[in-house]
Structure 1
Amino acid sequence: MSRDFGKVAVLLGGSSAEREVSLKSGNAVHNALVQAGVDAHQFDPAHQPLHELMQGQFARVFIALHGRGGEDGTLQGALEFMGLPYTGSGVLGSALAMDKVRCKHLFQVAGLRTSPYVVVDKNSAYDSQAIMAQLGHVMVKPSHEGSSIGMAEAHTAQQLKQALQDAFQFDDQVLVEQWLSGREFTVSILADKALPVIEMRTPSGFYDYQAKYQSSTTEYFCPADISAEQTAQLQEMALHAFNLVGAKGWGRVDAMQGDDGEFYLLEVNTVPGMTEKSLVPMAAKAQGIEFSELVQRILEQTL
């Protein structure tokens, strides 16, 4: 199959806050493709203008860019303009999934369970006391960042104020979400099918940047220790959310189980991590799909 792909650009790095993670993902993808006999080449848009993809006569693109400029629809639009097939979601699906606030709005309208929330704009007045009175213990998230960048929890109005100031360094719009203290899960999607559910457990309280990429104490359970009925419910919920935002090809949907035992959607990821500690490869392996086959399957979607 590898000879059918032609010359492949693996887009990695970029200039978003997730550059370091993207470099790891892109390196892993590139190495796997090369070992499989694919004519794959690394391409970092932070150092190479996109028009060089045309000059380099690339046939297709594997997107391993996380965050803005890679996962938000802007790159996808540029590649479509150039007529280059690319992996993953299109312009609209990428843009919507990257926007946590609009995702929450969509989940609510579609009747998909998600934690109560408030949206705070950088240049608008807000009352941190009123927000805490409404939501209690909260999680603060920049609307357009991934890899848990800029996220923080707050128990008091003063902590919320500081968390918002920190989050505004990354985004002009911030999501303040009621804290969920239950178990944390993720469902990987590959070719319109849900892979085995993974549960993540970390002593830090939530699955933040350190727990994802630096900690040796984070535990992963794949498949997750939940009933067959709960697994099916969570997979169906994840697929619904994935399709709702217009995502395609492959990705990941994160959720939590509240104290009430119900599942609550967190967000949709259209270019999830592909590092050695990443969740999509872990779920694929539990399904009998090794990393090399996984990256080829994702690339096959461009044919």
Structure 2
Amino acid sequence: MSARKPHVAVLLGGWSSEREVSLASGKACADALERRGYEVTRIDVGRDVMAVLAALKPDVCFNALHGAFGEDGRIQAVLDIMGIPYTHSGVLASAVAMDKTMAIRLFRQAGIGTPEGYETTLEELGRAGPRIDAPFVVKPAAEGSSVGVFILPDGDTRPIFSRNALDLAKRVRVERFIAGRELTCGVLDREPLAVTEIVPKDGFYDYRAKYTEGFAYHVVPAEIPPAIEALVQDWSQRAYDALGCRGVARCDFRYDPSLAEEGLSLLEANTQPGMTPLSLVPEQAAYRGIDFDELVDRLVKEARCDH
């Protein structure tokens, strides 16, 4: 008689701005685990998640949450307190990666190139104006999936402040815009997977382009000089290690070919990369010969071993 497969609770949904993509990630991962023979329970996470998990008593949680409470260290802390193994990074790595300013400090200490920039609030930005020349980018200091990102080519910040019910105390990063190409590299168990170039059909790689079929296409592997490919992979692994990640993570870059290696900058690391049919990490894993079901299975097995 074969041994019983672990009972996996797939955490999905939640209440962040990335709820919809989390539902898609969670469904894809739960389906994959069921195909691999696991007992699977899907939990659309609410504020009663501790009581739900205490009653369910799963062997392991697959964290398919994105955004606030899913990748900022808070759900990880809940699971640590409850003694339940879980996939992806732990409390500290998740919290630091979500805080873009703190993460960039770590990246710079690890010798990784990052964009010129600083942290402020929307109120201060509106009152004093930007401290760097246009073009620049304004983005939330703790968000993912390009939610709330503005590219301001001429320095005019009015498009930001035209939104209704704006939280002027919100922390934002103001960074110099880097012209050029969008690159990303997944890291699985400290090993870089591949470098992908993301080519949006229109504008930049925003939330719509990330999660709407036909709004961007991916080139795997990216058609870039070998030295740049090697540097992207090296910096991705260094960022993964500097944060203390585990499982799978993804690092996003901008690359200005006119500046050679000086034109490469790491924008951020994502400890909960998307796991939808359009997502980058599953695509890179497939390029390396790891199909989606195997990837998900591997993350669950690693979570149990780490615990």
Does TM, normalized by the shorter one, top 0.5? yes
Q: Which moved more, 1:288-297 or 1:199-208?
A: 199-208
Structure 2 Cα separation of the partners of residues 287 and 125 of structure 1: 44
Cα pair distance change 1:171/1:297, threshold 3 Å: farther
User: Is residue 2:220 matched to residue 1:222?
Assistant: yes
Indicate the residue corresponding to 2:26 in structure 1: 26
Cα pair distance change 1:216/1:125, threshold 3 Å: closer
Structure 2 regions of 5+ residues with no counterpart?
none
Q: Which moved more, 1:50-59 or 1:116-125?
A: 116-125
Cα pair distance change 1:284/1:170, threshold 3 Å: farther
Alpha carbons 1:29, 1:274 under 8 Å: kept: yes
Q: How much does 1:51 deviate?
A: 2.3
User: Is residue 2:259 matched to residue 1:260?
Assistant: yes
Matches within 5 A, 1:107-186: 107-122=107-122, 124=124, 129-131=129-131, 134-157=132-155, 159-163=156-160, 169=167, 172-186=170-184
Indicate the residue corresponding to 2:87 in structure 1: 87
Q: How much does 1:126 deviate?
A: 5.6
Indicate the residue corresponding to 1:234 in structure 2: 232
Aligned residues: 299
Alpha carbons 1:76, 1:90 under 8 Å: kept: yes
Indicate the residue corresponding to 1:187 in structure 2: 185
User: Is residue 2:11 matched to residue 1:11?
Assistant: yes
Structure 2 Cα separation of the partners of residues 254 and 113 of structure 1: 12
Structure 2 Cα separation of the partners of residues 61 and 281 of structure 1: 19
Structure 1 regions of 5+ residues with no counterpart?
none
Alpha carbons 1:150, 1:170 under 8 Å: kept: no
Q: How much does 1:45 deviate?
A: 1.4
Cα pair distance change 1:81/1:217, threshold 3 Å: closer
Q: How much does 1:123 deviate?
A: 5.1
User: Is residue 2:73 matched to residue 1:73?
Assistant: yes
Q: How much does 1:229 deviate?
A: 2.8
Secondary structure in 2 aligned to 1:302?
Answer: helix
Structure 1 Cα separation of the partners of residues 143 and 168 of structure 2: 7
Structure 2 Cα separation of the partners of residues 70 and 293 of structure 1: 23
Structure 1 Cα separation of the partners of residues 4 and 168 of structure 2: 41
For the aligned residues, what is the CA RMSD? 2.1
Alpha carbons 2:13, 2:22 under 8 Å: kept: yes
User: Is residue 2:292 matched to residue 1:291?
Assistant: yes
Secondary structure in 1 aligned to 2:148?
Answer: coil
Cα pair distance change 1:130/1:53, threshold 3 Å: closer
Indicate the residue corresponding to 1:204 in structure 2: 202
Q: Which moved more, 1:146-155 or 1:10-19?
A: 146-155
Q: Which moved more, 1:209-218 or 1:23-32?
A: 209-218
AA paired with 1:264? S
Q: How much does 1:206 deviate?
A: 1.7
Structure 2 Cα separation of the partners of residues 127 and 108 of structure 1: 29
TM, length-normalised to structure 1: 0.92
Deviations 1:84-130 (A, max 9, x none): 00001110000001111211222233331111112112454665545
TM, length-normalised to structure 2: 0.91
AA paired with 2:293? S
- Aligned match for 2:249, one of 251, 254, 278: 251
Q: How much does 1:214 deviate?
A: 1.7
Cα pair distance change 1:3/1:151, threshold 3 Å: farther
Secondary structure in 2 aligned to 1:200?
Answer: strand
Cα pair distance change 1:233/1:3, threshold 3 Å: farther
Indicate the residue corresponding to 1:51 in structure 2: 51
Secondary structure in 2 aligned to 1:280?
Answer: helix
Structure 1 Cα separation of the partners of residues 66 and 21 of structure 2: 8
**Percent of aligned positions that are identical:** 38
